[in-house]
Amino acid sequence: MRKLKIILKILTIILVFILIFFSLKSSVKGQTNQTNVKNYYTYTKAVCNESNFCQDYYVVCENQKIKNISPITGAFIQHSKNWKDPRDEESKKISC
């Protein structure tokens, strides 16, 4: 009779651990609601004017829209007057 009680206690403990394991596993694995996920990212872009002064900007995008553009302090350069920007027109644009 004593062995039976010990075996039942051990089985109960094992069952509790199994239940805890599977409940934790299912809560960690959860589903993501795609409508609440925002498309958020940042990047930097050099913008040059007609006098070949180029300034780096920090660009924040969210859901394919520009949320913020701010100059990066100290990230600028003045090129010579005969310098040509090697990027094509599309690469020069700030967009998300």
38 in the same domain as 6: no
42 in the same domain as 26: no
Contacts of 53 (CB under 8 A, 6+ apart): 76, 77, 78, 79
41 in the same domain as 25: no
Q: How far apart are CA 57 and CA 65, in angstroms?
A: 16
Judge whether 92 lies within some domain. no
Overall domain count for the chain: 2
- The residue segments making up the domain with residue 77 are 34-81
Judge whether 68 lies within some domain. yes
40 in the same domain as 77: yes
70 in the same domain as 49: yes
pLDDT tens digits for the chain (96 residues)? 776 666 656 655 665 556 566 666 655 655 555 555 578 999 999 999 999 999 999 999 999 999 999 999 999 999 999 999 999 999 999 999
